[in-house]
Amino acid sequence: MLIKKIIQQLVLIIMRSSILVGGQAVINGVMMRVPGAYSTAVRLENGEIASKTTPFKSINEEKGYQKIPIIRGAIGLYEAMKIGYSTLNWSAIMAEQELDQKSNKITDIIMNLAAILFAVSLFILSPIFVTKFFVSTTDAISFNVFAGIIRISIFITYLLLISTLKDVRTLFQYHGAEHKTIFTFENGQKLSYANTKKHKKEHPRCGTSFLFIVMLVSIFSFSALDGLVIFFLKLNELPTFGRLLIHIFCMPLVAGFSYEVLKFLAKYMDKNYLVKILCMPGLLLQKITTKEPDEKQLEVAFKSLKTAFGDKYESIKGGKYKADAIG
């Protein structure tokens, strides 16, 4: 159970993608987010598809923050995590009901906290402690470059390891189904197996690409922040705990800036060869986090998208859509 919770926590970021439609793979299904709502569809053991639609309006839309760079990205990521956690939990509950298992709230809270602690330890603490043995803590640039390389290496190794698990492979198939369905929709094509199977399973605005950009941006951001703190406070070195706090508290801004980078890359990927090259690492990582879906998994993704739009789907389908970045 703990391993599943850990995977659920990390999947919230890894599975993010976007356009007019945004989505996420969940347990035995797919969540699709559209303007004004999001819907989750899951395949039950009896073969039927259960779905749940929830109205939603972004804080960025309500407050007008969508015009403010970096802030809109930080808020968007927070909302994506909140929606992702809610829909992932719902899909888990549906799976437990199918298996006649009862969910215990206290146990779930403890496991979720343990999963978050594991994620922070693995991707934030571990790189810092490993780097201390090889690089001087007074050299902010060298320290964070080395820590960044360690962090990316841990991330890739983690993805490769969990991709060998049967449940995770199924999750990655639904991730591929989500991407292919979004590609089909934004190209104005009918949602059918024949049309959808032609599209790639890797999406340039996927959360895997976003997370890779966050790791790269954090190298430069943390180097600058650590250097400024050491300089202005006249420190001989930055204590590990202090470095950790600075990095954690600055993550929303790093994520917000990464959003702007991804937005730029997504906008010019098809227009500029250099930008296309810069997008390649994220797309290559998706070779791990997406697998080819079967027809039944695509059917679930279709259901999620259609129920998200509701009655508006018939009037919207057939058009070509392409938003700037993640939703």
Looking at 45-100, which runs of residues are DSSP E strands? 49-55
pLDDT over 90 at 81, yes or no:
no
- One DSSP character per residue, 112-153 reads HHHHHHHHHIIIIIHHHHHHHTTS-TT-HHHHHHHHHHHHHH
pLDDT of residue 305: 94
pLDDT over 80 at 4, yes or no:
no
Name residues whose C-beta falls within 8 Å of residue 206's C-beta, 6 or more positions apart in sequence.
15, 16, 17, 179, 282, 286, 289, 290
Tens digit of each residue's pLDDT (9 = 90 or more) over 131-174: 999 998 889 999 999 999 999 999 999 999 999 989 899 999 99
Tens digit of each residue's pLDDT (9 = 90 or more) over 204-248: 888 888 888 889 999 999 999 999 999 898 888 888 888 999 998
Q: In whole angstroms, what is the distance from residue 235 CA to residue 158 CA? A: 35
Q: In whole angstroms, what is the distance from residue 117 CA to residue 111 CA? A: 10
What confidence tier does 107 reach under pLDDT thresholds 50, 70, 90?
Answer: confident
pLDDT over 60 at 325, yes or no:
no
Q: How many CB atoms lie within 10 A of CB 102?
A: 6
pLDDT of residue 327: 32
pLDDT over 80 at 103, yes or no:
no
Round to the nearest angstrom and report the end-to-end CA distance of the chain. 30
Q: In whole angstroms, what is the distance from residue 194 CA to residue 192 CA? A: 5
pLDDT of residue 119: 81
For residues 85-113, give the mean pLDDT.
74
DSSP element (H, E) containing 7: helix 2-14
pLDDT of residue 286: 94
- Specify the higher pLDDT residue, 303 or 63: 303
pLDDT over 90 at 176, yes or no:
yes
For residues 243-256, give the mean pLDDT.
90
